[in-house]
Amino acid sequence: MGHGGNVLAELMADHREVEEIFGRIQAMTSRGQELRDLVDEVTIELVRHSVAEEQYLYPAVREHIQGGDRLADKEIADHGRIEKILKQLEKTNTDDAQMSALLRQLMDEVAAHVQDEEHNLFPMLRQACSSEMLGDLGEKVRRAKAMAPTRPHPAAPDTPMASKILAPGVGLVDRARDFVTGRGRS
């Protein structure tokens, strides 16, 4: 969940963690509860990551990078597509033929998003922001991930202010549901 370092190191560590989970999913030879546990694990990580980016990274992009509004809007649209896939996965039985297609779609969307951030957005942010600012953003992102929801809520507002107000309450409810059901403990 929290890896340490500046915002770019933190988010890239998240990216590697998600890629590792995807690798475990691809290596699976069975379905059932083991697959559900991995889908839940990747969902939790992606939702937390997205919420933190929307609260802190994209406002910094808007403020410090020329054309930042367009860039941030594109990244938020990527999140919206990913969150809709996550919501579909949440409702899909692991034995359903649709599961494999949804997982492939998720992996493709996430891979494209990660590549875009790491090759375009992050270098621009590194150029535009001081190391102190990037470090401060890293702390804020870690705190946001700790309070963030753990389940997809595609209809939730994605503005930074609305997310900062609503995410802790929604996150608390999600974590309570996860505790009761055992979701995410594997």
Q: Which of 139, 136, 114, 120 is nearest to 17 (CA)?
A: 114
Contact predicate 142/9, CB 8 Å: no
| This prediction's pTM | 0.84
Half-sphere exposure for 49 (CA within 13 Å, toward CB): 29
Positive or negative, the Cα torsion across 166, 80, 69, 143? positive
- Domains delineated in the chain: 7-181 (1.20.120)
* Exposed e or buried b per residue across 108-121, where buried means at least 16 C-beta atoms within 10 angstroms of its C-beta: ebbeebbeebeeeb
pLDDT digits (tens, 9 = 90+) for 114-135: 999 999 999 999 999 999 999 9
Q: State both tokens at 100.
A: 């494999």
pLDDT 10s digit of each residue in the chain, 186 long?
Answer: 456 789 999 999 999 999 999 999 999 987 888 999 999 999 999 999 999 999 999 999 999 999 999 999 999 999 999 999 999 999 999 999 899 999 999 999 999 999 999 999 999 999 999 999 999 999 999 999 988 777 666 555 555 554 554 555 554 445 445 545 565 665
Q: Single out the residue of 60, 166, 156 nearest to residue 117, CA to CA.
A: 60
What confidence tens digit (pLDDT) does each residue in 141-155 have?
999 998 877 766 655
3-state secondary structure 47-105: HHHHHHHHHHHHHHHHHHCCCHHHHHHHHHHHHHHHHHHHHHHHHCCCCCCHHHHHHHH
CA-to-CA distance for 109 and 54, rounded, in angstroms? 17
**Which position has the token pair 């507002």?**
157
